[in-house]
Structure 1
Amino acid sequence: MPGFNDIIGHEMIKEHFKKAIETNHVSHAYILTGEAGMGRKSLANAFAMTLLCEKGKKEPCMQCHACKQVMSGNHPDLIFVNHEKPNSIGVDDIREQINDTIMVRPYSSYYKIYIVDEAEKMTAQAQNALLKTIEEPPSYAIIMLLTTNQEAFLPTILSRCVQLKLKPLQDSVVRTYLMESLGISEVKAEIYAAFARGNLGKAIHLASSEDFQLMYTELLHMLKHLKDMDITELLDYIKKLKDESLDIYDCLDFMQLWYRDVLMYKVTQDINLLVFKEEYNTIKEMSASSAYDGIEKILQSIDKAGIRLNANVNMELAMELMLLVMKEN
């Protein structure tokens, strides 16, 4: 379990937590918002460990009994709220795990910290039950709500919490981490970083994902031979990817990266700006044979395919419309 120094990026949030500890202005309720894999849990755990650390500084010492308890998941004053139903956190979960225990003083520390992961799954009744506790908490209590979507919270919850939003990391930061910490080649690290869009956890997952490797191989083949294949063959290719349980939205993101490379090379003629550097010759050919407005139309068609899928348009129809634009341009 990392301390603040071990977490890549999110400097503003780390500084906010450190300053709150240093000036003794720790809030009773926080909302940490960010995509899965961006580091919400790591930040919450580092904050909790720092608060519970026996040295009382703005970084956890990682050596004291309290730090070791947190790292092993056994600290009595750090409570992770669970929920049996996979898609909702009900009023009973909040009452039993927070409201009914929060008035019991901490066992061994000054603070008693509750971490609620997937907090966007709280029902309205659960949020209202939590609201009373947030409004009148005991001095030692801290509640941390971790979420991918803070818009799911009631305005009354939002107004009583310090809201901290995780921002994507720069691609260069993600790329450097993959290369230096995981030993991944620069070419591959470039692709994973670009595809992850600043989400380090996602980039690390992609680096070891067989599904991503399959998607990479199949889509690259399709995009390179798109002009030579008829629409039926192309649709069969898309169906094959879907049958392999690959995420169709990930496939669209991949295509978008590819055509952005084609456009980038047409504008700059600079191989160093490409994500798919290994496919330089193909990208150079495609950029030479495509007009600017044609590439723009393709990129727009990929966006439209995503919008249509979100609107529950038939997948084959959405893909066919997109592929026709790709073939025409």
Structure 2
Amino acid sequence: MMGFNNIIGHEEIIGHLKNAIESGKISHSYIFTGEPGSGKKLLAGTFAATLQCEAGGTEPCQKCDSCKKAMGKNHPDIIMVSHEKPGTITIDEIRDQVINDIDIRPYYSPYKIYIIADADLMTPQAQNALLKTIEEPPEYAVILLLTNNIGGLLPTIQSRCVRLDLKVVDDGLVKKYLMEHLHVPDYQAEIDASFAQGSIGRAKEAATSQEFAEMTQNALRILKYANTMEVYELSDAIKSLSEDKQNINDYLDIFQFWFRDVLMFKATQEIDNLVFKQEINFIREQAKQRSYENLENILDSIQKTKVRLKANVNFDLAFELLFLTIREK
């Protein structure tokens, strides 16, 4: 576990939480909302550990008994609410783990903290049952709801919690983090950071996954030679993609970054802001050969492909249409 000092980005939220700790004005319920991998669990966990820390500062000391228990995920007064079924949190689970438990005083800490990840999965009945507790909590209780779909929470719950919106982290910060902490080489960190779209969790995953590195190489092989590929080569490329369907959105993201780079270079002739700087020769070549209109059409077509796949349009057909657009000059 780390302190607030080690968290990348989210300065405003950290400032808000530290002020609350310092002034002793802790709310009984918070909603942390943001994209998957944006750091909700890390922020909520750090906040919980700091509230329980025996040193009483605005960072967890990481040395006291309470911090050690929080780090080991076995703190009796920090309760992670769990659920059996993957897509739903039932009223019984909320009753057993929160409502019937919250009146028992903390074992040895100032607070009793409940962390409900994927809070939007609570059924309306479960949310309504929790609402009563949120409205009249014991003075030592703090409930932290984490969600990447704020619309899944009832308006009555939303209106009674302090809402903290996690913004995406700047690409530059993500890149710096990957290079310093995970020793990812410069050009790879650039790709991973762009791909992560401001999510440190997603960036870490990309940086440490052999699969992602192979996927990037595979996508680049197609992109660099898409101009000159024969139709049969393109259909082979489609086949290789269709064998990797679960990662198809990641492929499309990489396609998007590539053609954005080509468009950006065509417009500015500058290398600094490119994701695929190390492929500048291919990018320069494609920028020369393609018109602005063609590049806009391709980016539009990539977006449409994502929509088509969501709507379960035939996979090969969706990609043939995309590759036809890519092959037009």
- TM category (shorter chain) comes to over 0.9
Aligned to 1:173: 173
Deviations 1:197-244 (A, max 9, x none): 111111111112122122111111111221233445324323322313
Alignment of 1:206 with 2:206, yes or no, is yes
Alignment of 1:93 with 2:129, yes or no, is no
* Native 8 Å contact 1:113 1:141 kept in 2: yes
Aligned to 2:192: 192
Distance in 2, matches of 1:211 and 1:24, equals 46
* Native 8 Å contact 1:231 1:324 kept in 2: no
* Native 8 Å contact 1:54 1:64 kept in 2: yes
* Native 8 Å contact 1:215 1:241 kept in 2: no
What secondary structure does 2:227 align onto? helix
What secondary structure does 1:227 align onto? coil
Q: Point out the more displaced range, 226-235 or 35-44.
A: 226-235
* Native 8 Å contact 2:27 2:142 kept in 1: yes
Report how many residues are paired: 329
Distance in 2, matches of 1:87 and 1:232, equals 42
Deviations 1:18-76 (A, max 9, x none): 11111121111111112222211110011001110112221111111111111111211
* Native 8 Å contact 1:215 1:246 kept in 2: no
* Native 8 Å contact 1:179 1:189 kept in 2: yes
Per-residue deviation, 1:312: 2.6
Deviations 1:93-130 (A, max 9, x none): 00000001000111111210000112121111111111
* Native 8 Å contact 1:262 1:283 kept in 2: yes
Aligned to 2:240: 240
Q: TM-score, normalised by structure 1?
A: 0.96
* Native 8 Å contact 1:4 1:46 kept in 2: yes
Per-residue deviation, 1:272: 2.0
What secondary structure does 1:174 align onto? helix
Q: After TM superposition, what 4+ stretches of structure 1 lie above 6 angstroms from structure 2?
A: none
Report the CA distance shift for 1:145/1:231 in structure 2 as closer, same or farther (over 3 A). farther
Aligned to 2:262: 262
Distance in 2, matches of 1:13 and 1:232, equals 53
Q: TM-score, normalised by structure 2?
A: 0.96
Per-residue deviation, 1:260: 0.5
Unaligned runs of 5+ in 2: none
Alignment of 1:66 with 2:66, yes or no, is yes
% identical aligned pairs? 53
* Native 8 Å contact 1:211 1:246 kept in 2: no
What secondary structure does 2:103 align onto? coil
Q: What do you get for the CA RMSD once the two structures are aligned?
A: 1.3
